Amino acid sequence: MLLLRKPYLLFLGDVRSAVHAKTAFGVAHWCPDDVVGELRFDGAAVSTGKPALSIAQAAAAGAGSLLIGIAPVGGQLPPHWLPTLIEAAQAGLDIVSGLHTRLGSFPELVAAAAAARVQLHDVRHGDWPRVTGSGRKRPGKRVLTVGTDCALGKKYTALALTRSLQARGMPATFRATGQTGIMISGAGVAIDAVVADFIAGVAEQLSPDNAGSHWDVIEGQGSLFHPAYAGVSLGLLHGSQPDALVLCHDPGRQHIDGLPDFPMPALAEAIALYLQAGRLTNPDVRCIGISVNSSSLSEAAWSAYQERLEAELGLPVADPLRGGVETLTTALINQEETCHES
């Protein structure tokens, strides 16, 4: 599993759009205590609100890594960033990148990192164990966020659930499967970069044997209803062997994002398919609730939609940004208590 050295100095370069800085904002929001500050070039129009630090100041403050918090169009690393990255490596900071361009493709950066004995982490291209799934029942408890489509709140829901469980005094660990999640947690595997034969096995490694009271909260990827990404979703589902699922949905979408010929599934249909697939490795898997990205709805429309879904599905429905996930956490705990009683 990839392990990152915290705390971070967030590198924003000369970013002009907040959309391109979503990684930096996600890290600053979810693990603010792991960020010592940010480094921006003159002319940058976006800030996370963290203290502005030079590389020398960040190193003196104990920074472990410079984290590239922006994603330029095309995912390429602009050449004029390179002197800054080299300076950070020379100052003893690891470099963490989620770009398509590999840090190792720059010989001068590789040489600087080797001389300073620091690491270059290409999160999108991280290494992973070459193991196949076994389906072996593992001790501990697991909940996986799944979706009707991609990019509608699976990571955010998993992070919110983890925090909610911990706030109730329950042992819980967020298990990251995407690049931003890895940067937030400091560990994980970019599951969409794993060769298909090993997805389930890597998911097993990601959520290993644990204490019976411990919850692994696993960040979902893709969707079983997506014609391009259903494969990674299925492998992650089988390898995670979840006891519980939370289905994530965006009611503002009429079709799979970018694919108008593929309509969004009905939620009851989605639940049924995920449970059917999940029973291969855990016959007792249950869906305990729905997490909704309701940003397209007014407050009144969201309230009506939430009430209608709860009546139709008999499950709690929550938006992490509108009221939080406490009802989902309660359902998760109650499900485990019911399983023990039965």
- CA 18 to CA 9: how far, in whole Å? 18
CA 36 and chain centroid, separation: 22
**Phi, psi of 313, rounded to the nearest 5 degrees:** -100, -15
Q: Which one, of 28, 74, 209, 226, lies nearest residue 136 by Cα?
A: 209
Provide CATH code, domain 2-125. 3.40.50.720
Q: Which residues pair with 39 in a beta bridge?
A: 11
> How much is the pLDDT for 342?
45
Strands 141-147 and 120-122, how do they pair?
unpaired
CB 16 within 8 A of CB 46: yes
Any idea where the domains of the chain sit in the sequence?
A: 2-125, 141-341
pTM of the model: 0.90
pLDDT in tens, the chain (342 residues): 788 999 999 999 998 888 788 899 999 999 999 999 999 999 889 999 999 999 999 999 999 999 999 977 667 888 999 999 999 999 999 999 988 889 999 999 999 999 999 999 998 877 778 899 999 999 999 999 999 999 899 999 999 999 999 999 999 999 999 989 999 999 999 898 899 999 999 999 999 999 999 999 999 999 999 999 999 999 999 999 999 999 999 999 999 999 999 999 999 999 999 999 999 999 999 999 999 999 999 999 999 999 999 999 999 999 999 999 999 999 999 876 655 554
Q: What homologous superfamily does CATH list for 141-341?
A: P-loop containing nucleotide triphosphate hydrolases (3.40.50.300)
